[in-house]
Structure 1
Amino acid sequence: MPELIFPLDSTKKFTDQKYLGHNRWHPEVPANVHVKPGDTFRMDCREWFDGAIVNDDSADDILNAPLNTVHVLSGPVAVEGAQPGDLLVVDILDVGPIPQEDSGPLAGQGWGYTGIFAKEHGGGFLTDQFPDAYKVIWDFTGGVATSRHVPGVSFVGIVHPGLMGTAPSAELLARWNTREAALIATDPNRVPPLALPPEPDSAILGTLPQSEYARVAAEAARTAPPRENGGNQDIKNFTKGSRVFYPVFVEGANLSMGDLHFSQGDGEITFCGAIEMGGFIDLRVDIIKGGMETYGVSENAIFMPGTTDPQFSEWLAFSGTSVTLDGEQRYLDSHLSYQRACLHAIDYLTKFGWSPEQAYMILGAAPIEGRLSGVVDIPNSCSTVYLPTSIFDIDIRPSSSGPAQIDPGMGVPRSSF
């Protein structure tokens, strides 16, 4: 096993650990640990809400989730010799749930969860159709996920970090804040909001001196969206065996990571839509000097996917076009066409006995594939969502005998508020 350089004790809160991580992006968040090019090491990671979501049959914890606290990230890790303009090479050697802890109160101890946020708390990809808070618990057995809340479905985990990235420079951070503030200003009262501005409340900034805390907390960027530094990209194929090339914006690169997922469908469409968990990640790092200019990677990481993903041979695919539910034509709106494809898949699965909420959770957590299938044929873009048929206990293909029926069980817990 690689050396564990960022340990987390499951009996303690994230803020009470040996090393204090962070939940905001800022160039002045100090590095917790230091490594050299070529080093191999292990990082423990806490589930993104630090244990606020529990293994029960209520969604009230999703409704009341402490959104200002996320994501709790492990790091930063400074890499000796990394300078602005370099590319940081990161190999994912292994990633998984909390080792040797297959039961307990924390997500990652033999279980994980998928949630749908209420619309007023951020919603999801289909928030207008699913405006309330819901939660599904998944159990892990031999690398396979099953759920008492979504019967009739099982699948091998496609474990990956939802979030990894390097620290922004002061200049890059300022660009983020300026452009996102301008977007918010176009509709400041929108529900859900258009973007999340810096929020000093609940900011965790590692070992930053207290004298600098107020200033940095007021500037530091939230970790919710992906940006030029990588960040919360939620790419399901970013698995064991992947190699990623991150732009370096500060001395040491200051690499951080978290938001581990046991599995996820393309798009993480319920927002809290993967199977969220804590766990570990084993990494190896190197540097390509001057790589940003050499390879034209001035923003947004590039990566080579791993080769350990579950392999499926049969799929059932659904398409959607850029026409709203009430018949309004939109011009090449791929976001809308993927929504419509997902809604078509959800409608289809309800014919077999799953509730709309159960079907939505399947699309968020199972390893579905989403594709932009046509983006040039005016006025309609075409998006498609592919469901691997083998994850279902019944045959979901259309046939003359009609859809088989499953027992939906207790269903998906919904917030009581």
Structure 2
Amino acid sequence: MPEVVFPLDSNKKFTDQQIVGHNRWHPDIPAQVRVKPGDVFRVDCREWFDGAIQNDDSAEDILHAPLLSVHTLSGPIAVEGAEPGDLLIVDIVDVGPIPQEDSGPLAGQGWGYTGIFAKANGGSFLTDQFPDAYKVIWDFRGQVATSRHVPGVSFTGIIHPGLMGTAPSAELLAKWNAREQALIDTDPDRVPPLALPPNPDSAILGSLSGAEFDRVAAEAARTAPPRENGGNQDIKNLSKGTRIFYPVFVDGAKLSVGDLHFSQGDGEITFCGAIEMGGFIDLHVDLIKGGMQTYGVSENAIFMPGNTEPQYSQWLAFSGTSVTLDGEQRYLDSHLSYQRACLHAINYLTKFGYTPEQGYMILGAAPIEGRLSGVVDIPNSCSTVYLPTAIFDFDVRPGPGGPHQIDPGQGVPKASF
């Protein structure tokens, strides 16, 4: 096993650990550990809500989830010799749930969860159709996930980090804050909000304290969206065997990682849409000096996906176009067309006995493929959702005998207001 450079004790809160990570982006958050180019090392990662979500049949914890405290990131990790303008090579050597802990109260100890956030608490991709809070618990057996809340489904997870990235420079951070505030100002009272501005409440900033903590907390960017440094990209294909090339904006690069997922469908459409868990990730790092200019990668990482994904060979695909549910035509709106494709898939699954919420959870957690299939034929963008048929315990394809009827069981727990 590689050296554990960022250890976490499952019996302690994130802020009580031997090394405290962070939940904001800022160039002045000190590096907690240092590694050298060529090193292979292990990083323990906490589930993104630090144990706030329970393995039970209630969704009240999703309804009241502490969004100001996310994400619980392990890092920053300084790479010796890294300078602005370099490319940081990060290889995912291995990744998985919490080792040697197959049961317990923390996600990653043999189980994980998927949630739909209430519209008032962040919402989801389909928040107008699913405005309430729901939760599904998934049990792990090896690399296979099943759920008491979604019967008749089992699938091999594509385990991956939802969030990994390098620290921004002061200039890049200022750019983020300015452009996101300008967006917020266009509709400051929108629910859910258009963006999340800096907020010192619940900020965790590694070893910073006192006046320096207060200054950084007031400036630091929230970790919710992906940005030029990588960040919360939620790309399910960043799995074992992946090589990623991150732009370096500060000395040491200051790499951070967290938000591990046991599985996820393309888009993480329920927002808390992957199977969230804590766990470990083994990384190898190296540098390409001056690589940002040499390869034209001045922003946003490029990557080579790993080759350990489950090999599904048969799919049932659903398409959608950029027309709203009430019939309004939109111009090449790929966001809308993907929503419509997802809604078509959910409606299809209800014909087999699933509730709409169960269908939505399947799309959020299972390794579905989402694709932009047509983006040039005015006025309609066309998006598609590919659902692997092998994840079901019955034949989900259309046939002359009609849909097989499943027992939906207890269904998906819903929070009460």
**Structure 2 matches for 1:250-329, cutoff 5 A?**
250-329=250-329
Deviation at 1:240, TM superposition (A): 0.1
Corresponding position of 1:249:
249
Partners of 2:179 and 2:389 in 1: CA distance: 42
Partners of 1:386 and 1:213 in 2: CA distance: 46
Corresponding position of 2:20:
20
Report sequence identity in percent: 83
Partners of 1:197 and 1:310 in 2: CA distance: 38
Q: Match of 2:19, SS?
A: coil
**AA partner of residue 43 (structure 2):** M
Corresponding position of 1:220:
220
Partners of 1:334 and 1:143 in 2: CA distance: 33
Deviation at 1:293, TM superposition (A): 0.2
Q: Deviation per CA, 1:146-173, whole angstroms, max 9, x where unpaired?
A: 0000000000111000000000000000
Corresponding position of 1:109:
109
Partners of 2:211 and 2:329 in 1: CA distance: 54
Corresponding position of 1:62:
62
Partners of 1:210 and 1:40 in 2: CA distance: 34
Corresponding position of 1:402:
402
Partners of 1:356 and 1:384 in 2: CA distance: 19
Deviation at 1:211, TM superposition (A): 2.3
Please say if 1:133 is aligned against 2:133. yes
Q: Match of 2:217, SS?
A: helix
Partners of 1:2 and 1:378 in 2: CA distance: 53
**AA partner of residue 112 (structure 1):** G
Partners of 1:193 and 1:347 in 2: CA distance: 28
Corresponding position of 2:81:
81
Partners of 2:300 and 2:236 in 1: CA distance: 17
Partners of 2:230 and 2:66 in 1: CA distance: 24
Deviation at 1:328, TM superposition (A): 0.2
Corresponding position of 1:197:
197
Partners of 1:238 and 1:406 in 2: CA distance: 34
Corresponding position of 1:337:
337
Corresponding position of 2:362:
362
Deviation at 1:404, TM superposition (A): 0.4
Q: Deviation per CA, 1:198-237, whole angstroms, max 9, x where unpaired?
A: 0100000001132201111010000000000000000001
Partners of 1:295 and 1:137 in 2: CA distance: 43
**AA partner of residue 159 (structure 2):** V
Partners of 1:152 and 1:195 in 2: CA distance: 37
Q: Match of 1:265, SS?
A: coil
**Matched residue count:** 417
**AA partner of residue 24 (structure 2):** R
Partners of 1:96 and 1:61 in 2: CA distance: 24
Structure-2-length-normalised TM-score:
1.00
Partners of 2:181 and 2:344 in 1: CA distance: 35
Corresponding position of 1:92:
92
Corresponding position of 1:186:
186
Q: Over aligned residue pairs, what C-alpha RMSD do you find?
A: 0.4
Deviation at 1:403, TM superposition (A): 0.2
Please say if 1:43 is aligned against 2:18. no
Structure-1-length-normalised TM-score:
1.00
**Structure 2 matches for 1:385-400, cutoff 5 A?**
385-400=385-400
Deviation at 1:105, TM superposition (A): 0.2
Partners of 2:191 and 2:416 in 1: CA distance: 21
Partners of 2:134 and 2:69 in 1: CA distance: 20
Q: Deviation per CA, 1:169-191, whole angstroms, max 9, x where unpaired?
A: 00000000000000000000000
Partners of 2:409 and 2:30 in 1: CA distance: 49
Partners of 1:41 and 1:296 in 2: CA distance: 29
Partners of 2:157 and 2:389 in 1: CA distance: 16
Partners of 1:134 and 1:111 in 2: CA distance: 17
Partners of 1:394 and 1:284 in 2: CA distance: 41
Corresponding position of 2:373:
373
Q: Match of 2:180, SS?
A: helix
**AA partner of residue 267 (structure 2):** G
**AA partner of residue 18 (structure 2):** K
Q: Match of 2:8, SS?
A: coil
**AA partner of residue 310 (structure 2):** P
Deviation at 1:416, TM superposition (A): 1.7
- Deviating more after overlay: 208-217 vs 234-243: 208-217
**AA partner of residue 175 (structure 2):** R
**AA partner of residue 284 (structure 2):** R
**Structure 2 matches for 1:107-186, cutoff 5 A?**
107-186=107-186
**AA partner of residue 359 (structure 1):** G
Q: Match of 1:373, SS?
A: strand
Gaps of 5+ in 1: none
Q: Match of 1:343, SS?
A: helix
Partners of 1:143 and 1:386 in 2: CA distance: 21
Deviation at 1:142, TM superposition (A): 1.9
**AA partner of residue 57 (structure 2):** D
